[in-house]
Each structure stands twice: as C-alpha cells, then as structure tokens.
C-alpha cells in the first residue's frame, strides 16, 4: 500500500508500509528511542522518559519477531523508515513515529494497517496498553479508555499507562 500524505509542514509525503525483518531491528530501536525522548514529554517528565527509553537493544526486537510478534514499518519512497507498529495477536504492543515526521498521518496509517490485519484474522476487538502520550491519538481513532494502571518501565520507574480498546467491525476498512 502506498499513500500520499499531505503534510502540514512538508508538502507531499509518499509513504508505504512493509513487514519489518530482523535487519530492521536497529532502525526500530532508533525510532522508538527518538519518539519516546521527543514526544513522550507531552505526558511524562524527562527522567520518566529516560526510564521508558532504557534497554531498547536491537536484539529485543529480534527476539520479539522470533517469538511471533508482527512488525510493520512505514517508509518513504527511498525506503527511509518513518514509523513502526507491532502486535501480539490482537494486542498492539508499540506504535512509534519518527518525531521529525509526526502529525503527518503516519501513525494513523500504521494504526489502520494493524487494525485491518487483526480484523482479517477474525478478531472482533483490538487492545492496547498505551503510554499517556498516545491517549489523544487513540481517542481520535475511536478507542475507549478502559482505565489507568501503573506500568513498570525497563529503567525501573513506575509510570501511569492506559488500557484502551476498540471493537472491530467485520467488513469495515478502518
């Protein structure tokens, strides 16, 4: 799938999605780390973001892929990675967009893609344990805030996170 996103700050951006492979592990780590450090502060303090960003070694993503997690990357027409989403079954585990490319619709494109994949597997519901920095984004996309819970990050600090769910309607495209 290739989509032309009309960016507010950068003219037109051609984005396509592809499966990620173990060779993308370093790239995924860079995107996740940058997104946490630069977009996480909308909801958390700098020390909290550092604790969230701790321990993101490339092997971690390779291990998740080997365990069956499905990763999808958003890339531009030169193949440059812009964002990533991954899931375990019907549960979204991570969704991160390169902060240089945020608010251009890349997160929405990745979310629509993962919703379609989960729906195609026959699930009728998608769930996410999300950082509070993603709450407005998910609310915009029809997710219901089920509750807030303490989340022990890799660096040891306990942050507040939110449980979100959305029913998936069979046959729908978004």
Ligand X SMILES: CC(C)(COP(=O)(O)OP(=O)(O)OC[C@H]1O[C@@H](n2cnc3c(N)ncnc32)[C@H](O)[C@@H]1OP(=O)(O)O)[C@@H](O)C(=O)NCCC(=O)NCCS
Residue ranges binding ligand X (CB under 6 A): 35, 39-40, 42, 94-97, 102-108, 130-131, 133-134, 136-137, 140
- CB closer to ligand X out of 18 and 171: 18
- CB closer to ligand X out of 55 and 171: 55
Half-sphere exposure of 8 (CA within 13 A, CB side): 7
Q: CB 69 → ligand X: shortest distance, Å?
A: 14
- CB closer to ligand X out of 58 and 132: 132
Q: CB 168 → ligand X: shortest distance, Å?
A: 19
- CB closer to ligand X out of 44 and 122: 44
Q: CB 94 → ligand X: shortest distance, Å?
A: 6
8-state DSSP, 155: T
Separation of alpha carbons 148 and 161, rounded Å: 6
Integer-rounded Cα radius of gyration of the chain: 15
Separation of alpha carbons 83 and 120, rounded Å: 22
Q: Pick the closest to residue 61 from 88, 107, 26 (CA basis).
A: 26
């Amino acid at each position: 799938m290739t989509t032309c996103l009309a960016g507010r700050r950068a003219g037109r951006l051609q984005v396509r999605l592809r499966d990620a492979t173990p060779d993308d592990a370093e790239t995924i780590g860079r995107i996740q780390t940058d997104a946490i450090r630069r977009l996480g502060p909308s909801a958390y303090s700098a020390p909290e973001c550092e604790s969230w960003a701790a321990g993101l070694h490339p092997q971690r993503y390779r291990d998740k892929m080997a365990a069956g997690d499905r990763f999808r990357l958003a890339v531009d027409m030169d193949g440059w990675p812009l964002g990533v989403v991954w899931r375990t079954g019907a549960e979204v585990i991570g969704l991160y967009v390169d902060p240089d490319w945020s608010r251009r619709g890349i997160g929405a494109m990745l979310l629509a893609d993962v919703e379609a994949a989960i729906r195609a597997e026959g699930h009728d519901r998608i769930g996410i344990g999300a950082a509070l920095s993603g709450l407005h984004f998910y609310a915009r996309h029809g997710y219901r805030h089920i509750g807030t819970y303490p989340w022990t990050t890799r660096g040891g600090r306990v942050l507040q996170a939110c449980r979100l769910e959305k029913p998936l309607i069979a046959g729908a495209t978004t």
